[in-house]
Amino acid sequence: MKKHLFFGGIHPKYNKEMSLGVTAFQRITPSRVVIPLQQHIGAPCQPLVQVGDHVLRGQKIGDGEGLCVPVHASVSGTVVAIEPHPHTSGRLVNAIVIDNDQTDATMEPTPITAPLDQLDNDQILHAIREAGIVGMGGAAFPGNVKALSAMGNVDTLIANACECEPYITADDALLRSTPEQVLEGMTILRHVLKPSRVVLAVEDNKAAAIEKINGILKNYPGIELAVLPTRYPQGAEKQLIQALTGREVQPGKLPVSVGCAVFNVSTYAAIYRAVRLGTPLTERIVTISGEAIAQPQNFIVRIGTPFHDLIEVAGGLNEKTERVISGGPMMGFAQSDLSVPVIKATNSILCLLKDRNGAAENPVCLRCGKCVNVCPMRLQPLYMYRFVNAGRLDELERLNLLDCIECGSCAFTCPGKLPLVERFRKGKQLLREAKAK
């Protein structure tokens, strides 16, 4: 396979070995779960249960119309509250709180057992939607809608296993343990989308996962494994498409515009479980890592598990902990409240010490141009930063600020330690508010 290079990128210290020491997953089942009714891009769900109701694991407890997928109870028990609750986004989001009765009584699964060539697309897409599947690499876009938009429009189907953020190894752990679930999910989506090329992309720092995949790949003819040189942010879908195909997604466009569809490997595994096992998305693999956590490792975690419960099981925090992040150090969001729950898109909880996060008290742009050289979207971060601070929305639009993928490469390489990503997020908010008016 011919490999291509995307523009820019960096090579941070990856620290992935920290969370791979424990190979046997521990399953986390908390005494209480908090299920946010907004875990995806689009319209929030409306509750389908009331306070006092008894629910089963896998029962649909929230749903809505339009760009929306349902949420399900991740434990059996009693609904004790439906109220706003802190969310990983920093907002208060309406959530259903369930006290676990510890019986794990589960809804009867509804698997689809017919051969794949006897299934129609509507049947598969309905199963994906009813299982509540969203993009599990972080974007959280409804899976059935993304697949529907790609039907008849793509020639390349990609499974993204790059996992290029430092510390995070959730997808790596999935491929080391059950790669067949990922490949089965790819086979199901291949049947729906009918692309001419199907490729599983992984970076070359995941040797054990690559070996495991190669050991079973012969059972999945037509699926190729692409091993790419490790480079951040290769896991961003536009950069991954360019690395695999040489095609560049133009500003404001989606991957489908260049004939590609990209799904995270955890999403493929969830699709397999939804279609062939009949089980909705109620748990996922989560990495907990960082120098401030006692026992870094990967867990299988029920959706709705509070962060503090998972941190406690991982041995607790160092007293010098400065920051807990949902996601990775480059694109994640710092958390001020550890009662926030694990949601469908939570792949990591990162705990960092004070000496790992030195930010300049008085940041100054040195006009060195390093941020321009590493930006994978070919943007001009130094000017974007100035115009956000000046409130120049006309210039921000001219500089294509909305194309920023917030990968943090510019901030990583900035010798002046400017809060670039933070300001770009603010600038995007200002642009959207102006357009809404």
Written as one string, the DSSP assignment of 252-275 is T--GGGGTEEEEEHHHHHHHHIII
Predicted local distance difference test score (pLDDT) of residue 357: 41
Residues in the chain, pLDDT under 70: 1-3, 354-361
Are residues 119 and 265 located together in one domain of the fold?
Answer: yes
Residue type for position 373:
N
> Closest by alpha carbon to 421, among 435, 407, 401?
407
Residue 27: name the closest of 54, 57, 70, 60 by CA: 57
Residues 344 and 315: their CA atoms lie apart, in Å, by: 23
3-state secondary structure of 246: coil
Calculate the CA 173 to chain-centre distance. Answer: 15
At 73 the pLDDT is 98
Q: Is residue 258 located within the same domain as residue 396?
A: no
The answer on 122 and 269 residing in a single domain is yes
User: Would you say residue 73 lies in a domain?
Assistant: no
Three-class DSSP labels, 323-382:
EEEECCCCCCEECCCCCCECCCCCCEEEEEEHHHCCCCCCCCCCCCCHHHHHCCCCCCHH
Q: What is the pLDDT of residue 360?
A: 61
Domain extent for 384: 370-436
What the block records as the tokens of 162 is 């790059």
Residue 44 corresponds to which amino acid? P
The verdict on 121 and 252 lying in the same domain is yes
CA-nearest of 28, 36, 32 to 101 is 32
Positive or negative, the Cα torsion across 35, 36, 40, 43? positive
Q: How many of the other CB atoms lie within 10 Å of CB of 144?
A: 22
Q: What's the sign of the alpha-carbon dihedral 246, 181, 100, 142? A: positive
Count the Cβ atoms, other than its own, within 10 Å of residue 94: 17
Q: DSSP letter at 383?
A: H
Q: Is residue 376 part of a domain?
A: yes
Q: How far is CA 163 from the centre of its chain?
A: 10
> The dihedral of CA 253, 255, 256, 258: what is its sign?
positive
Q: Which of 161, 160, 159, 124 has its CA nearest to residue 144?
A: 124
In-domain check, residue 354? no
State whether residue 183 is helix, strand or coil: helix
Boundary (domain end) residue, out of 259, 277, 295: 277
User: What CATH number should be reported for the domain holding residue 234?
Assistant: 3.40.50.11540
Task: Please answer whether residues 70 and 45 qualify as being in contact, where contact means their C-beta atoms are separated by less than 8 angstroms.
Answer: yes
Tokens of 204: 């070359």
User: CA quadruple 233, 235, 241, 246: dihedral positive or negative?
Assistant: positive
| CA atoms in the 13 A half-sphere facing the CB of 25 | 23
Judge whether 322 lies within some domain: no
Name residue 158's beta-bridge partners: 199, 262
Give the span between the Cα atoms of 311 and 99, in whole angstroms: 20
pLDDT of residue 21: 81
Find tokens 């390349």 and name the residue.
Answer: 156
Q: How far apart are CA 434 and CA 40, in angstroms?
A: 24
Spatial contact of 300 and 347, defined as CB atoms under 8 Å apart = no
The total number of structural domains that make up the chain = 2
Q: CA dihedral in degrees (7, 333, 40, 120; nearest 10)?
A: 40
- Of 238, 258, 277, the last residue of a domain is 277
Instruction: Name 216's Cβ contacts closer than 8 Å, sequence gap at least 6.
Output: 179, 180, 183
Looking at the structure, do residues 120 and 259 belong to the same domain, yes or no?
A: yes
pLDDT in tens, 317-338: 998 899 999 999 999 999 999 9
Residue 151 domain-assigned (yes or no): yes
Q: Report yes or no: 420 and 366 within 8 Å, Cβ to Cβ.
A: no
Domain membership flag for residue 31 = no
Residue 378 domain flag? yes
Q: How far is CA 345 from CA 53, 129, 206, 266, in A?
A: 27, 16, 22, 10
Last residue of a domain, one of 250, 277, 304: 277
The answer to the question of residue 350 being in a domain is no
Any alpha helices (H) in 81-120, and if so which ranges?
none
